[in-house]
Each structure stands twice: as C-alpha cells, then as structure tokens.
Amino acid sequence: MNKLLVADSVSKDYGDFRALNQVSIAVPKGSIFGLLGPNGAGKTTLIRIINQITMPDEGKVILDGQPLQQEHIKDIGYLPEERGLYKSMKVGEQALYLAQLKGMSKSEAKKQLKLWFDKFEIGDWWNKKIQELSKGQAQKIQFIVTVLHKPKLLIFDEPFSGFDPINANLIKDEILKLREEGSTVIFSTHRMESVEELCDHIALIHKSNKVLDGNLIDIKRQYKSNTFEVGLKSSNSQTVINEIKNKFVVLPATFKNVYDDVKLNVKITPEISPNDLLSFLTSKAEVHHFVEVIPSANDIFIKTVKNN
Amino acid sequence: MNHLPLIIKREYLNKVKNKSFIIMTFLSPLIMIALISVVAYLLQLNTNKKRTISILDESGLFSEVFINTENITYNYSNNTALSSAKAVVKEKEQYGLLYIGKGDLETVSETIQFYSEESPSLTIISSLENKIERKLRDLKLVANGLDSEQIKASRANVNISQETFDGQKSSKIDNILKLAFGGISGYLLFMFIIIYGNMIMRSVIEEKTSRIIEIIISSVKPIQLMMGKIIGTSLAGVTQFAIWIILLGILSTIVSMIFGVDLMSAQGQQQELVQQAMDNSSVQNEINLVVQSFQNLPLANLIVAFLLFFIGGYLLYSSLYAAIGAAVDNETDTQQFMLPILMPLILAVYVGVFTVIEDPHGTVSTVFSFIPFTSPVVMLMRIPFGVPLWQQLVSLLLLIGTFTSTVWFAAKIYRVGILMYGKKASYKELFKWLKY
C-alpha cells in the first residue's frame, strides 16, 4: 500500500452548483502533494471532504486502506486557509483544548506543546491571549496545533500566507522535516515557486474537474517542448545563426549569458536527440550555454487553465 | 470520540471567566436592589407626606367620621361660609377642602364636594368616599331601627373555600400563590431564553468571525459543537442565576437591616386598606392559610414539570439562536431572524399573563399550552392550577418532538452556515442549506 489517501470519483453539489465533478486523486505515502487550481475551483471543497467536514454526494475516500471514518480525525492535521483562534483565550489553554479535540491526552499534549514552544522560542506566550499576538505569531500557534498530534496526513491550505520570509522559511523547513519523519502532506497554494520547491506530486483542479495530475517531474517531461537554450561564442555569428535556422526551428530567446554572439531557443523534433543538436553546434562554434527549457509549475498551471 | 464534555467545559469556563460576565453577575443584583430601594424610598416619601384636609360639614352628620391618621390630619372648620373656608384652605396651603352641604340622609350625598389646588390623589378620594358611604349606611340602618351593636354584628368576612370534584381544596390565597408560582417560573424561562439564547448566538458568531470554526469542525461534528455550546452556556446561566438569587437574598437582608426599610412596606397604603378589610379576621389566621395553601400546591408535579418544560423550551429556542448565529456574519445582521423567535415567546408571556389568570383551563390557555413554541411558558403558568396528567404528557411529547426537529434543523443550518463567510443569508438561502 503506497497510497496514503485515495479519493475516488468524488462529486459534491451545492444546490444547482457542482463544486466537484468526479474528482479522483491518489496521494503517495511520504510525498508532498500539491493541490492546485484557480480560486473557486473546488480545492477547499475537496479538502473539507477529506476532513469529513462535508460529505461527498458521490464517490469515496480511502485513508490508509480504510474508508474514511470518524476515527481518522486524529490521523489528519488541517491548517485551513480561513484560520483563526479564540481571541480572548490564552495561548496555552487554547492549544491544549485543540490538541485534546484531536484525541491527545492532556499530559501528552502539554509535553509536546512544550517541545514545540521551545523549538520556536515562544515559551513565554503560554499565558498570553491571542489578541495580544500579531497575526504572524498567531499563525505559528496554528501551525503547531495542526502538527502537534503527529498525524499521518497533513493538509496545509496556503500555509505561508501571513508569514514574513524568515518565518515562512522556518515553516517550510518544518514541513520538510515532518515529511522526513513519515508524514504525508497535501499542500494547497497559489504560490507556484513553493510548489516547485516542495511538491513531488500535483493535481490541478479547474472548474470542479481535475484537469491534470501526477508526479511533477513526469508532468514536466510531458509538457516540455524539446526546446533548448543555446548560447554560442562566434566571430561570424550571422552565418552560424543562418545555418542553425536552416536545420532547426528557432525561437527568440530571453535567457542571460556572458556570450551572446548567438543566443537562440532551438526547438528539435522528437526523433532528433539533444546530442545531435549539440554535436551540430560544437561543429559550428564554441558552446557556452546549452540548457533544455523545462516548463515551470507556473507555466504548466497557466497553460492548463487557459486550455480548459 | 466523544468530545462533548470537553466542549461543554470550555464553553462553560470561557463564559464564567469572561470579565463582563463576572461583572454582570455581581453588579446586577446590586443595581436591582438599588433600583428597588430607590423606588421604595420614593413611594414612602410620597405616602409619608403630611396632608391636612379641612372639612366643612353643614349637615352635621359626619362629626366623628374623620379621624386623624399618621399622614392625614382632618381639620373640622364649622360655622364658616364655604367661600371663607376655601380661602382659609388656600391660604394655609392645605391639601383640600371637603364640603358636605345641608341635607338629610337621602339628599346629603349629592351635596358633597372636594375643593383643592390640584386634582386630588385617587386613593385619598376613594378613602373619603369609603368613610362617607359607611357612615351613611350605618345612619340609614339606625334610622330603620337597628342599633349599633346589631350593625357591628351584621358585618361578615367571607372567604369562599373552593374544592374540585376530586377533593382538591383551594382558596383565594391559593390562587394568588399559584399565580405567583406559575408567573415566576414562566417569566424565569422567558428571561433565561432571551439572555442565554443571545449569549449562544454571540458565541457562534464569535467562532465564525475569529475563523477558528474550520479548525474545530475538522475535529468534532458540528452538532456536537452546537450542543456543547448550548449546554455549556446554559450551565453558565444556571450558575449566574443561582448567584443572583443568593446575592439578592443577602443584599436585601442587609439593605433592610441598614435602612430599616421593609421593602415590602412600599405598599403601605394598600396594607392599610387590607387591614381595614380584615377587621375581623386575625393576621395569624391569614398566615396559617398561606402555609396551608403552599402545602396544597402540587409540589412534586410542579418541580418535575418545571424541570422538563424548562429544559425542553430552552433547548428549542437556544438551538434556533445557534442557527441564527451560524447564518450571519455579525450581530447587526441578526435582526431579521430575531423577530420570528421573539414573537412566539412574547405571545406566550402575554397569553400566560392575561388568559391564565382569567381562566387557567379556558380554551385559549389550553390551546397555547399545547403549541410547542408557547407551551413551556404557558404550561408552567397553568400547572399550579392543576393540569391533568395526560395534557402535561401530550404537551411534553409535542415539545420533545418539536425540539428534536428544531435541533436537527438548526444543526443543518449551523453545519453549512458556519463555513459561509461574507454572505448575508436570506430565508431562501437558509432553505437551500437544509438540502445540502
């Protein structure tokens, strides 16, 4: 069993509006799974179904081999996008309460909380009220509360919003550490650079349908267009350019290179191997830059959403 | 995983530890006592005012009738003309002048007039009328050949004792006591629903606006959270009520000890009248009657019914309050939904106050004691008068049925509403939510 969570043809209707249409995803154990999509695509609905906040109208969800049920609440940690805490309650009391709701015993929760508070160096917040903390500080507490009970599955919805770069980094490192310790992470965000950085797998939901999913590298392979950035040093650049143009499809290039006598994006057909292109280039001039153009997550996101 | 006790505990502690809750708990009895004391003081000030009333009795029939009391001095001014008597009264700034013209027993009553600077108090006028009427009646009886001993002997004091066919005895005092019992319990429920229903509503709104709701809801079922909230808040309410009652008891004792003001003597004037009416019956007798009446009340039935109807009625309404809280984003939006809740409640109190007193087993009060939205208040007011068990049971079953469905209905709205932000829900929208 290498899938921690499988959603199988899940649909959800709100009145006449179909929020999710036959969406299936499979989240491998130990992966960081990016759940992407434009605003209002249905990500939050899917996440709420996984959290048993709402029930699907059709389809089923399997967690660790079992159909989703009440007992699984303690196996999931959820940091919602719309998040907050009781403003007039003290930090410590509140964290203890939320941990107990997740099924932890009071003493265990206290012990774990102390560890986390020490790690984040916020031990002196215990008796403060939430309303005395800044937004970023409160988010830290929310993060701790989400991961405290060491759930198998962590779901973060825009985890970095509201954090300054330093704290965002801190949280990112903690997410990676949790994955190393065996947690599986579902990660929903609009920030594509963090998808690039963190996610192994992604699924893209658009207008209530899943339009793309899989291993991020596989997807990139699928989306790449066999285009290479080529930077050459040559004394008679125009001749070389013309020779390349005669043989390959050439596109304008924008990359930066120290030698830009010849600066091109060269697209080759699948039958031609990059080696052929490279040996052709070396025969004509001195090669200083030869990089395959790999679409970024951002490119893939925009392209897929536009095409649908 | 049953988190209900945990949620109840949090809700309870959160309410009880809240600063404004604590302040309200301890301040309200103080304010209430202060208010009552002020009112009592003012009333006493009013009744203690010394007044002088001049009497010009040209008929000579009423020479011994007006006897000075603590507050009113009667001043017979004989052998003066009406105009000069008026002038004297005006000059001495007396309260007024009672003029009784010449006439015999039959005609004198038409000559009587009261002159004063301002329109006189109703109680004073009626007390004067009483005195004159009684004297005239006595005089007429004497004229018809009775002597004063016979007249005294003819006075009677009747207190009709009532008994139902199955032997339950009651009296007028019984009825007053029953009214008090029913009224207090009905009103208590009404107050409780309004105060703590609102508190529940606010606490739901708070969870929505602070955005903690989604975190909580991923751990517990919405209905658990809602019930925990209702029960926790109610327990806080019971605590507050208990403290209020204890404090009120202590404070009123202290106040009456310090100021020597018997708060009850606020109705001093009425007491005077009552005492006049009870010429013959002794006070001891009355006290015995009250004690007896108290024992006559169906106490066991009262207590059990109070608990059941109180809990049922409270759950019914508080679940609706919770649903309203879930349907809106802030307190100002609650108005449109409050009216349908308040209407039946207010109706219940009015029905209770006006029809139950008139006729506890009449059609109106009986019907309203079955309708679940009014039954808790109306039935609680009726029960002291003895309601057949089957009626109580049917009403209770209806109530349980209804509150089960309102809790279900509220939970549905709650479940959807708590996750809806920035939307002002309409009734149409709420209806749609029921189907999600």
- In this complex, the residue of A51, A54, A101 whose CB is nearest that of residue B3 is A101
Residues B129-148 have pLDDT tens digits of 888 888 888 888 888 888 87
Residues A60 and A201 in one domain: yes
Is the per-residue pLDDT at B425 higher than 80?
Answer: no
Residue A305 located in a structural domain: no
Residue A130 located in a structural domain: yes
Residues B320-337 have pLDDT tens digits of 898 888 888 888 888 888
* Residue that is last in its domain, among A221, A250, A282: A221
Is the per-residue pLDDT at A46 higher than 60?
Answer: yes
Residues A54 and A181 in one domain: yes
Residues A77-130 have pLDDT tens digits of 999 988 889 988 899 999 999 999 998 999 999 999 999 999 988 889 999 998
What 3-state DSSP class applies to A55? Answer: coil
Residue A71 located in a structural domain: yes
Q: Chain B residues within 8 A (CB-CB) of chain A?
A: 1, 3, 6-7, 10, 14, 18, 206-207, 210-212, 214-220, 419, 421, 432, 435-436
Residues B336-385 have pLDDT tens digits of 888 888 898 888 888 888 887 778 788 888 888 888 888 888 888 888 88
The per-residue pLDDT for A91 is: 93
Distance from CA of A32 to the nearest CA of B (A): 21
pLDDT tier at B407, thresholds 50, 70, 90: confident
Least confident of A143-147, A266-270, B43-47, B82-86: B43-47
Cα gap A135→A77, rounded to integer Å? 20
The per-residue pLDDT for B101 is: 84
Least confident of A28-37, A127-136, A277-286, B287-296: B287-296
Q: Which of A206-220, B25-39, B53-67 has the highest mean pLDDT?
A: A206-220
- In this complex, the residue of B7, B218, B436 whose CB is nearest that of residue A14 is B436
Cα gap B116→B99, rounded to integer Å? 11
Cα gap B123→B246, rounded to integer Å? 36
Cα gap B310→B360, rounded to integer Å? 19
Name every chain B residue with its beta carbon within 8 A of the beta carbon of A48: 419
Q: Is the pLDDT higher at B293 or at B121?
A: B121
Name every chain A residue with its beta carbon within 8 A of the beta carbon of B417: none
* Residue that is last in its domain, among A194, A221, A248: A221
The answer to whether the beta carbons of residues A98 and A149 sit under 8 Å apart is no
The per-residue pLDDT for A235 is: 85
The per-residue pLDDT for B434 is: 75
Is the per-residue pLDDT at A237 higher than 90?
Answer: no
* Cβ of residue A65 closer than 8 Å to a chain B Cβ: no
Residues A208 and A238 in one domain: no
Cα gap B405→B323, rounded to integer Å? 13
Cα gap A229→A267, rounded to integer Å? 9
The tokens of A29 are what?
């154990």
The per-residue pLDDT for A202 is: 92
Paired residues of A203 in beta bridges: A35, A213
Residues A182 and A268 in one domain: no
| Number of domain units in chain A | 2
Residue A92: give its domain's CATH number.
3.40.50.300
Is the per-residue pLDDT at B298 higher than 80?
Answer: no
Contact B218 A82 (CB under 8 A): no
* Cβ of residue A18 closer than 8 Å to a chain B Cβ: no
* Cβ of residue A51 closer than 8 Å to a chain B Cβ: yes
Name every chain A residue with its beta carbon within 8 A of the beta carbon of B216: 98, 101
Name every chain A residue with its beta carbon within 8 A of the beta carbon of B7: 101
Residues A118 and A253 in one domain: no
Residue A207 located in a structural domain: yes
Name every chain A residue with its beta carbon within 8 A of the beta carbon of B206: 86-87
Residue A55 located in a structural domain: yes
What is the average pLDDT score of chain B? 81
Interval B192-209 mean pLDDT: 89
pLDDT tier at A63, thresholds 50, 70, 90: very high
Helices and strands (H and E) in chain A: how many? 10, 14
- In this complex, the residue of A83, A86, A100 whose CB is nearest that of residue B6 is A100
Interval A226-249 mean pLDDT: 88
Please give the residue of chain A at the shortest CA–CA distance from B217.
A53
The per-residue pLDDT for B172 is: 67
Residue A269: give its domain's CATH number.
3.30.70
* Residue that is last in its domain, among A195, A221, A247: A221
**Structural domains in chain B?**
50-146 (3.40.190.10), 170-253+282-433 (no CATH)
Cα gap A273→A278, rounded to integer Å? 9
CA atoms within 13 A on the CB side of B53: 23
Residues A133 and A281 in one domain: no
The per-residue pLDDT for B286 is: 64
Cα gap B356→B70, rounded to integer Å? 39
Name every chain B residue with its beta carbon within 8 A of the beta carbon of A102: 219
Cα gap A248→A269, rounded to integer Å? 9
The per-residue pLDDT for B296 is: 65
Distance from CA of B242 to the nearest CA of A (A): 25
Contact A98 B214 (CB under 8 A): no
Residue A306 located in a structural domain: no
The per-residue pLDDT for B267 is: 45
Closest listed residue to residue A174, CA positions, set A32, A36, A35, A4: A32
Residues B249-291 have pLDDT tens digits of 888 788 777 765 454 444 444 444 445 445 444 556 666 666 6
Residue A243 located in a structural domain: yes
Contact B211 A100 (CB under 8 A): no
| DSSP symbols for A188-249 | E-S-HHHHHHH-SEEEEEETTEEEEEEEHHHHHHHH--SEEEEEEE-SSHHHHHHHHHHHSE
The tokens of B246 are what?
């204890």
What 3-state DSSP class applies to A129? Answer: strand
Residue A159: domain span: 3-221
Is the per-residue pLDDT at A291 higher than 50?
Answer: yes
The per-residue pLDDT for A93 is: 92
Distance from CA of A123 to the nearest CA of B (A): 22
Residues A110 and A258 in one domain: no
Contact A98 B215 (CB under 8 A): yes
Q: Is the pLDDT higher at B68 or at A68?
A: A68
Residues B218-251 have pLDDT tens digits of 888 888 898 999 999 999 999 998 898 888 888 8
Residues A120 and A163 in one domain: yes
Instruction: Select from B20, B212, B414 the residue whose CB has the most chain A CBs within 10 Å, as the one to mutate to test that interface.
Output: B212
The per-residue pLDDT for B289 is: 66
Distance from CA of B416 to the nearest CA of A (A): 9
Is the per-residue pLDDT at A175 higher than 50?
Answer: yes
Residue A234 located in a structural domain: yes
Q: Is the pLDDT higher at A51 or at B267?
A: A51
Residues A71 and A145 in one domain: yes
Residues A232 and A188 in one domain: no
Residues A209 and A237 in one domain: no
Residues A158 and A243 in one domain: no
